Structure 1
Amino acid sequence: MRFIIRVVVNAFALWVVSLIPALTVTITAFAPGEDLQKVLTLLAVGAVFAVVNSVIGTVIRVVAFPLYVLTLGLISFVVNGLLLWITAWITSFWGWGLGVGEFWWGVVAAIVISLINWFFGILLRPQKKKRS
């Protein structure tokens, strides 16, 4: 269930980020109707981004831990931009997905995606029950 929520939040964040002119979302022919195609494409790209972030992102964060300490965590913006760029590269093999023009636009998009994920993480976090 958490993965599905993460995919939906990532798809929403990618839709918001696709409003930046340097980033594009190429739709697929999954279903008839342009709106449904765009929603399904965003969900598919959100799933790929969630997997890339979980697998490759974890490895990069462990290996780059000294850089995180040295830069006080600011390297995370560049790492998230790299993960977004990797997601665009992976989805380009299928002829649909995310297109990132320049790497630094990917970093800006990653910052926006991180802020949206942070907001929805706080909003959707399960509340702890108070003991009486």
Structure 2
Amino acid sequence: MIRIIVQVIINALALAVAVLVLTGVDLTASAGMVEAIGGDETLANVLAFLLVGLIFGVVNALVRPIVKFLSLPLTCLTLGLFALVINTLMVLLTAWLSEYTPAVLSVENFWWGLGASIIISLTSAVLDFFTRRLGPAE
């Protein structure tokens, strides 16, 4: 259970880095969400990143393995470059799903999604490396 919580936090931090670096990617908390927690906009933004990080984790856990399996011949044919397209599609799917929540991730187009997927992958890899090294041995 703790590993799932840590993974959601890692996803949220990776999304935050992508939002900070890229101008075509944005995450906003709805006004209703800000009002629901007493008007604290900073807390609403943190919760928005955590919520979208959770959605991103669920998408990567449920949808991504199926898509990777079905696109395996194309991934082999492109020497693995199609994996970037799959990662981008997972970011775009997360953005679409987040439209139905109080926290909305907006990605302008495919290319901004590609940049976001690269930044999220690199940030997640670095944070995952440090959390696994600092955590207890399994």
8 Å contact kept, 1:42–1:97: no
Which residue of 1 is the match for residue 123 of structure 2?
A: 116
Which residue of 2 is the match for residue 73 of structure 1?
A: 80
Aligned-residue RMSD, C-alpha: 1.7
Higher helix share: 2
Choose between structure 1 and 2 for higher RCO, CA contacts under 8 A separated by at least 6 residues.
Answer: 2
- 1:1-132 matches, within 5 Å, as 1-19=2-20, 20-28=22-30, 29=33, 30-31=36-37, 32-125=39-132
8 Å contact kept, 1:45–1:98: yes
After superposition, give the CA deviation of every residue in 1:80-132 in whole Å (9 maximum; x if it has no partner): 11000000101112353200001111011000000011112221225897xxx
TM-score, length of structure 2 as denominator length: 0.86
After superposition, give the CA deviation of every residue in 1:14-43 in whole Å (9 maximum; x if it has no partner): 111112111111113152311100000000
| Distance of 1:5 and 1:50 partners within structure 2 | 11
Counterpart amino acid of residue 5 in structure 2 = I
| Distance of 2:101 and 2:132 partners within structure 1 | 34
TM-score, length of structure 1 as denominator length: 0.90
| Distance of 1:16 and 1:2 partners within structure 2 | 21
Counterpart amino acid of residue 39 in structure 1 = V
| Distance of 1:67 and 1:121 partners within structure 2 | 28
Superposition misfits of 4+ residues, deviation over 4 angstroms: 126-129
| Distance of 1:101 and 1:123 partners within structure 2 | 31
8 Å contact kept, 2:91–2:117: yes
Counterpart amino acid of residue 69 in structure 1 = C
| Distance of 1:107 and 1:4 partners within structure 2 | 26
- Identify unmatched segments of 5+ residues in structure 2: none
